[in-house]
Structures are given as structure tokens and as C-alpha cells.
Structure 1
Amino acid sequence: MALPWALTALSLLPLLTAQDPTCPYQKAVPITDAILERLSGKWFYIAGVFRNPELQRLIRDVKATFFYLTPNLKEDTIQLRDYETIGDECHYSVNSRDVQRQNGTLSRTVPDGVQIVHLWLSKDPKAFILLFEPEDEQNRGLAFYARKQKVTKKQLREFQEALKCLGLQDDEILYLDGKKDLCRPLDKQHKKERKKGNVES
């Protein structure tokens, strides 16, 4: 299961209804075509905080991960091509997410319900944040992604501000280490295949 999108089943709920009204993460930001285009391309998972025990277990097994997002503006979907280094192996998967534009969420249907993640764009266009179960204080989570594996102090500061805003702590942060990535060779192979017109499934 792809780490960046591994969520427990949720229903579509207002974003952070029980939180401090001064916290900007309380407000759902509608997803526009421009936002979807901004999300297109390669992203690295940098760090996150997960209070949900299952998500904590998943992240602790992963050494590094990056992924590609390909939005379909007409169908309101995003294809996710995910590369995860787990143990001494590279795991690759392809799936898609539905876009709920007005709710500012991305979702997919799974056997036991609907998996949902709330999108929050950072001030820097080269980073974004995903909110996990924001209305549930016991299982709340937040993940930080960037265009480059090494982030700037300004990007990191905004991530830390988001943590504080949501009542999460710095000592709860779980970082991944891009130096342990084992998926680069497979990524290069896939790039060559796409250039030849052989798009991997």
C-alpha cells in the first residue's frame, strides 16, 4: 500500500471543524485546475507526524519514497506512480485518486470504505502538505512533500508551523532519508520506456 495515501476509512467531513478558528488549516481550499497543474510531476516525501498506529507502523518500515502525480483535469482524477524503498527492496505501484474540488480533498474507494486526504498548499509552490484525519485528535496526521529531497529552512519552517497549528509536536516527526533510496534505477528504466512509448502499468 502506497505510504503517502495510506489512510483509514473516513467520510467527507468539514476540515478541522473542532480546531482553533485562527488556524488556516481549518479551512478547506477548493482545488482548481491551476492547483492540479501545480501538483503535476515528481515529489519527495520529506517528513510527517502520524498518531494513527497503523500509519506509524507503515512509515517506520519505509526508508525513502518519491512519486509522480499526473492530473486529469476533465475527469477530476490524479494518477499516482509511487516508488517506495522498504527494507532492501524498491516497491512500485500505480493507482489513482478522485478529486473533490470544493472540499479540497483527494480520495479513493477501498473495500472497507473511502480513503480521504485533505490537500493544503504551502506558500512555496515547490512543497505541499497532506492532512490525515484532521478532525480526529487521537489519529490526526500531517505529511510534508517537496520537489527536492533536501528542503530549505523556509519550507521546513512552514511545515513546523503547520504542526503547531494542528496541535502536533516536533518530537513526533518521522523523517525519511533520501540517501537510502533504492528506486532510482527503476525510475530511470521507466523514463526510458516512456520515451520509447512503452508506458508502464
Structure 2
Amino acid sequence: MLATLTLLLGLPLALTTETPTCSPLIPVTFDNGTIPRLLGKWFYIIGASKYPPHLEEIKVVKYAGFILSPGSHEDELDVVEVMRVNETCVTRNSSKIQVFRENSTLMHVDNNVTATAKLIQSDKDLLILNYSSDNFPGLSLSARTPNVSKEHLEEFRAQLHCLGFTEEEIFLTSEQYACPLPVEKTDEGDTES
């Protein structure tokens, strides 16, 4: 009886110390509400990439925010990005996101450099993108506010580890390095120093 009681009491503890299983990344199937949900301000929080050009960029970005607005075509979004690279705030408003509804894919085009990503199912105030650039994995988390809950951050870090990223390959931005975001669809071309 004592052995059975000990086993029952110890079972929950044993179950909680198991290595968590990696949940699959489930892409969003685009519908009429997908693109409107993406419009507006977002703040880049954390990401990792094995793709050398992306890796070099995320290593030096201390803060990033962006605004998505309707483009000149139905399946196009305009992007205004504001980021602190080293000690300088830079604004870029020349990039576009192409929307491929048939395979639920987004392609970011900036100065002839492209990145393809799938939007991953998540909380409505989170934007998780699963990149596939030349078979190099990448994953990023952006949010409607410059901060996310500790739980969301821990879940995202766990997912990065499941994908094989080490702590040294994960880069987190900080609100302490914030650059002002322009008002949506105005002040295009401004650069803050």
C-alpha cells in the first residue's frame, strides 16, 4: 500500500520532468480575414535563422518595428520598417510583401532580396513567421506591442530549440533601443538618427 501511494504521489512529478514534446508548426490557411488581420503596427521581438544574410541582419538589429498597409495590388502589402542597427535608427519604406493565397505563403521583397515565409497559427496579437530560404530554417516572433508575456517568450524559445537552434543563434530585441515608428502611411522616407 505504501509503495502504491508513493508511486501515485511521485507520478505527477515524474511526468512534469519529462522533456516537452515539440509541437508542429501549423501554417495558417489564408482566407478573406487573414490579410486584414496582418495590417497595422508590429514589433519584432525575437528570431533565429540559419540563412546567412538573415543571420547577419538579426545579429545587429537591437530593435525593429514595422507597419503593414495595403499595397497597390490586392495581393501585395507595403512595408515600412524602422530598426536600430547598432546605434543608428533606420527607416526603410521600399519593401513589399507579396501574398500567395493559393499556398498561404508570404514573400518579402527588399532591394531584390527575397524571403519566403509561412504564417503560423498563433494568438491574434502575435505574428509568427516560419522562413524557408534556400532550405535554411528561420523563425521569428513579432507582436502588436513591444513586449510579450514571459509564457509566450518561453514557448517560442522552446520551439526554436525544437527546430535545432542554440541559445547563441537566438536574438532578442529590446524596447530600450526603440526608434519611433512613423504614423501609418505618412512620413514615408524619414530616417531617424
Whether these two folds match at TM > 0.5 is yes
Taking the aligned partners of 1:92 and 1:127, their CA distance within structure 2 comes to: 22
Residue 146 of structure 1 corresponds to 143
TM-score, reference length from structure 2: 0.72
User: Aligned to 1:174, which of 164, 171, 175?
Assistant: 171
1:102 corresponds in structure 2 to: 102
The size of the alignment, in residue pairs, is 167
| Change in CA separation of 1:70 and 1:193 when aligned onto 2, cut-off 3 Å | closer
Distance 1:110 1:69, change over 3 A: closer
Deviations 1:38-83 (A, max 9, x none): 1111111111111223222111121111001114596111111100
Paired residue secondary structure (2:176): helix
Note closer, same or farther for the CA distance 1:113–1:143 as it changes in structure 2 (3 Å cut): closer
Name which of structure 1's ranges 64-73 and 165-174 shifts more when overlaid on structure 2.
165-174
Aligned equivalents of 2:156, 2:162: Cα separation in 1: 10
Within a 5 Å distance, the mapping from 1:20-39 to structure 2 comes to 23-25=23-25, 28-39=27-38
Q: Which residue of 2 aligns with 1:57?
A: 56
Aligned to 2:159: 162
Gaps of 5+ in 1: 1-21
Q: 1:71 to 1:155 in 2, by over 3 A?
A: farther
**Corresponding residue of 2:126:** 127
Q: What is the identity percentage for the equivalent residue pairs of Structure 1 and Structure 2?
A: 29
Residue 121 of structure 1 contacts residue 127 of structure 1 at CA under 8 Å; is this kept in 2? Answer: no
How far apart are the structure 1 equivalents of 2:167 and 2:124?
23
Task: Go from structure 1 to structure 2 and tell me whether the alpha carbon gap of 1:85 and 1:118 turns closer, same or farther (over 3 Å shift).
Answer: same
Preserved contact between residue 29 and residue 103 of structure 1 (Cα < 8 Å): no
Deviation at 1:34, TM superposition (A): 1.1
Q: How many angstroms apart in 2 are the aligned matches of 1:109 and 1:175?
A: 23
- How many angstroms apart in 1 are the aligned matches of 2:48 and 2:139? 5
Query: SS of 2:92's equivalent?
Result: strand
Q: Tell me if 1:191 matches 2:183.
A: yes
Secondary structure in 1 matching 2:183? helix
Shift of 1:35: 1.6
Between the aligned partners of 1:179 and 1:166, the Cα distance in structure 2 is 29
CA RMSD of aligned residues (A): 2.9
Q: TM-score, normalised by structure 1?
A: 0.70
